[in-house]
A = this chain, B = another copy of it.
Amino acid sequence: MFRLKRLEIDTQSEHVVFINERAVCEGSLGFNPLDRVRVFGVDSEAEGQGGITGILNFCHDSLLEKDEIGLSEVAFADMALSEGAQVGATLARAPTSIACVREKLRGHRMTRADFDRILEDVVARRYSKPELAMFVLACALRNLDTQELIDFTGAMVDCGSSLRFDSAIVADKHCIGGIPGNRTTMIVVPILASLGVTIPKTSSRAITSPSGTADTMGVLANVELQASEIYDVVERVGGCIVWGGALDLAPADDVLITVERPMQIDTEAQMVASILAKKKTAGATHALIDIPVGSSAKVRSQAEAEDLAALFRLVAQAVELEVDIVVTEARGPIGSGVGPRLEALDVLSVLRREPDAPRGLREKSLYLAARLLERTGFAPDAEGYRLAHGALDSGRAEAKFEEMVDAQGRRSLPDPAVFRHVVVARRDGRIREIDSLEISRIAKLAGSPANVSAGLKLLRGVNSVVERGEPLFEIHAQSAAQLAFARDYAAESDEIYRYGF
């Protein structure tokens, strides 16, 4: 038997179990590194219940005593025992649902029951990284047919919790990622809420981008709300902008993404299942999905966007969610800031109707708000834009946003970053396109989103005519080293701005 120890290592969704190599060699257990083991509380063993399974790492005396078993952060939390508790460990078999994954690899179809079993094991962290990769690749390479995709999405919806609101109509929106400085949500939500639409928005933190909506909102307000707090805020204010990550909404998605991201496997099917399951479990009845198309966006062509839209409609119908799809053009960021603080300033300037507020951000927000108002029946067809415009220009949207910030818990705006560097144009010309991936990379190198004031501020946008030597953008960083990383990368990259007509 061992004493349980919490090792403060964040291995994300993977359960890692640590054992002193001497404990194995000197006679307690016949384990090999990377074996899958089950760790159980000694009391719960009697009933064969409880415990967690994880992947084994050997370690030495500097980390663990011979009679200790260490667990990584999530494993320790899931184990739900105190440090020092008596635990045992034994070899664990692979989860039986792996057999379904192997069948798919051989080209067989999967059923709803298969997806349910697989996702249950995925959520319980019973899959190792290579096994997760195998599932994702089986779906990607053997393709899911429409019924499989519907079943996958249904299983994603049912593998965790759901929010439920009283309103008959609950609106939501989603933008297919990849475009930095595209913070329309924080403008659309207060516009709609100010017009009486229930719009409880759960957003993600940055995954591959320099800032997610939850990161940007997080500089102005608390975004880590429990379900009960969300119900309370929405009842009082009509909407919210919060982080969805701790609400157990379609949790399988959060685990799968830990392998999809490094593999850069991002099939249409996985995108559709993931987005629709998140909207559905967030309690939405009507969702607007924005598909930006551009050479550095996730979706690269109009044809691809239309295929994707058709798939969204088909699956949404099956899971009983009304979706409306808009395909937009993405030639670069539509706000001028990239990074949590700078994006939040853009949002505030639009809501406050400041004269230098980014026009692209304002117009796209109004357009999206108009669509949602019309599709949810809150505005007659062709009246949505006028209503949205009125809400914004009258200051009602701003007032609603301030109400929301207060209800969630106001935060004071962080100080601007101290370290700055201006990047200038290397040639004359008209800016045809700004590469979203390059902009994101620079902002991330500068420290965004972990350093909330880091990022960059665009001084010239798409369609501007610039002369060689004119400032294009300013990098903001909270340390000299990060400024240097970002500046050096920008200096070496030729393709951030593309010129032409």
CB within 8 Å of B: which residues of A? 7-12, 18, 21, 24-25, 27-34, 36, 57-63, 88, 90-91, 94, 98, 102, 105, 128-134, 137, 140-142, 206, 258-259, 261-265, 444-451, 454, 478-479, 481-482, 485
Contact = CB atoms under 8 A, between A and B. Distances in A.
Nearest to A7: B63
A62 B27 contact: no
Nearest to A63: B8
B57 A130 contact: no
Nearest to A488: B90
Contacts of A481: 28-29, 88
Contacts of A129: 129-130, 133
A422 B184 CA distance: 71
Contacts of A30: 444-451, 454, 482
Q: Which 8 A-B pairs have the closest CB atoms?
A: A133-B133, A30-B447, A8-B60, A130-B259, A10-B58, A129-B129, A130-B133, A27-B478
Nearest to A129: B129
7 contacts: A9-B58, A10-B58, A30-B449, A36-B262, A98-B264, A133-B133, A137-B141
A103 B90 CA distance: 41
Given A27-B478, A94-B264, 13 more contacts: A7-B59, A8-B62, A8-B63, A9-B57, A12-B34, A28-B479, A28-B482, A34-B261, A105-B141, A130-B132, A130-B263, A133-B133, A141-B142
Contact of A33 (B12, B130, B134, B259): B12
B9 A262 contact: no
A7 to B, nearest CB: 7
Nearest to A93: B441
B10 A263 contact: no
Quick one: which of A24, A34, A451, A482 has the most chain B CB within 10 A?
A: A34
A316 B481 CA distance: 53
A482 B105 CA distance: 36
B24 A450 contact: yes
Contacts of A58: 9-10
Nearest to A134: B263
A266 to B, nearest CB: 12
A21 B10 contact: yes
Q: How many copies does the complex hold?
A: 2
Nearest to A64: B8
A499 B59 CA distance: 44
Contact of A29 (B21, B29, B447): B447
Nearest to A25: B450
Nearest to A449: B30
A261 B91 CA distance: 15
Nearest to A132: B130
A10 B25 contact: no
A223 to B, nearest CB: 16
Contact of A59 (B9, B445, B449): B9
Contact of A444 (B57, B91, B261, B454): B91
A485 B262 contact: no
A94 B264 CA distance: 10
A450 B91 CA distance: 14
A157 to B, nearest CB: 25
Contacts of A25: 450-451
A450 B12 contact: no
A11 B447 CA distance: 28
A160 to B, nearest CB: 21
A370 B87 CA distance: 53
Contacts of A258: 34
A459 B130 CA distance: 39
A61 B133 CA distance: 32
